[in-house]
Amino acid sequence: MTIIAQGAEAIIEQEGDTIIKKRIPKRYRHPQIDLALRKARTRREAKVIAKLPIPGPQLITTNNTDTITMTAINGPKLAEVLDNQPLLAKTIGTLTATLHDHNIIHGDLTTSNMLLHNNTIYFIDFGLSFFSTRIEDKAVDIHLFKQALDSKHHLVATQAYHLFLENYRPKEREAILTRLKQVQARGRYKATPSKKQPSSKQPTPKKQ
């Protein structure tokens, strides 16, 4: 068994065609709270994987406490290939729309969480995923994807994002894209440093 990734939340190991993801206990948390959190997150992630309507890992089993076993998907991350194949963004848009039509929010929609295998794009890493019907959550998913493009793929970001949006056609497309503009506006507002307003207070004249 080979460790292929280790983050703050989990250790991911591969054995043949199988991936085992185990959430790590956090010593700074109360043991009962820690166990409850790991259980809830493991169950939620397993449920999302089991209900995926798009190419992704297949759930094999879970202990409903801290471990998920799923099928392995071999292939390069889209983070490594999108710059040379920006047209792949079309498929990403279509897959994201399907995900959102099934009320699944990925939560970490970046090209590092997508693999290319046999010319098929697979979404992976559903550790932050959840079910939601909220327009806001779907808009935020897209906003995070755009931020990932701007950060990791600045040479093709504009083209890739345009292709993504052209092919992102869920049932609630118009409402989601309208909310997306609001989300992006909030992001720009937070990123803009506030200018210090000149004081209206008059200086006190010096005594003669």
pLDDT tens digits for range 52-102 = 999 999 999 999 999 999 999 999 999 999 999 999 999 999 999 999 999
What are the structural domains of the chain? Answer: 2-71 (3.30.200.20), 78-185 (1.10.510.10)
Side chain identity, residue 111: T
Name the pTM for this structure: 0.87
Instruction: Give the active site residues.
Output: 108
Average pLDDT over residues 153-176: 98
b (16+ CB within 10 A) / e for 56-79: bbebeebeeebbbbbebbebeebb
Structure tokens at 113: 């969480």
Pairing of strands 114-117, 10-15: unpaired
pLDDT digits (tens, 9 = 90+) for 115-161: 999 999 999 999 999 999 999 999 999 999 999 999 999 999 999 99
Of residues 192 and 121, the one with the higher pLDDT is 121
pLDDT digits (tens, 9 = 90+) for 7-37: 888 999 999 999 999 999 998 999 999 999 9
